[in-house]
Amino acid sequence: MKKLEHIGIAVRNLEESEALFTRLLGIAPYKRETVESEGVITSFFELNGVKFELLAATSEESPIAKFLEKKGEGLHHLAFDVDGIEQRMSTLKEVGFDLIHTQPKDGADNKRIAFLHPKSTGGVLTELCEDKGLAHEE
Ligand code: ZN
What percentage of the chain has pLDDT greater than the value 90? 88
Confidence grade of residue 97 (pLDDT, cut at 50, 70, 90):
very high
Residue 137 Cα to ligand 1 midpoint, Å, equals 22
Between CA 25 and CA 127 the distance in angstroms is 23
What percentage of the chain has pLDDT greater than the value 70? 96
Residue 138 Cα to ligand 1 midpoint, Å, equals 26
The residues that bridge with 45 in the sheet, in sequence order, are 52
Look at residue 38 in the predicted model and tell me its pLDDT.
86
Confidence grade of residue 42 (pLDDT, cut at 50, 70, 90):
very high
Residue 98 Cα to ligand 1 midpoint, Å, equals 18
Q: Would you say the pTM of this structure is higher than 0.85?
A: yes
Statement: residue 27 has pLDDT above 80: yes
Residue 80 Cα to ligand 1 midpoint, Å, equals 9
Strand ranges in the chain using DSSP code E only, listed in sequence order: 3-10, 31-35, 40-47, 50-57, 74-81, 105-106, 111-116, 126-131
Residue 41 Cα to ligand 1 midpoint, Å, equals 11
Residue 77 Cα to ligand 1 midpoint, Å, equals 7
Statement: residue 135 has pLDDT above 60: no
Between CA 136 and CA 76 the distance in angstroms is 29
